[in-house]
Amino acid sequence: MNPLEPYVGPVEFNHDVKAILDHALFLKQQAEQAGALNPAIIGDANSQDVHRALLLIACQDFLDDRWVDRTIKRLNRAMHSVWQ
């Protein structure tokens, strides 16, 4: 096992993803309390669309545009044949 695994491997990835999910859940709770998830406000969005929107907002809150944009471009280029 790589001695750095706990710091750079799946544990760190899981922690980072959990932080985003926790933030999305917090945003959902705030939106519910504010009444923002009311169909009169957001329209006929299904729950999956609302969940995706909350995840995107949570990701944007943690976003460092310059680094993430560069990383997205590199990952997309490297994984194009697999992901497309």
Q: In whole angstroms, what separates CA 44 from the centre of its chain?
A: 23
At residue 8, the pLDDT reads: 62
Cα–Cα distance measured from residue 84 to residue 78, given in angstroms and rounded to the nearest whole number: 11
Per-residue pLDDT for the chain (84 aa), expressed as one digit of tens each?
Answer: 566 666 666 778 888 899 999 999 999 999 999 999 999 999 988 999 999 999 999 999 988 778 888 888 988 999 888 887
Cα–Cα distance measured from residue 70 to residue 68, given in angstroms and rounded to the nearest whole number: 5
Domain that holds residue 68: 5-83
At residue 6, the pLDDT reads: 61
Domain count of the fold of the chain:
1
At residue 66, the pLDDT reads: 83
Predicted TM-score (pTM) of the model is 0.77
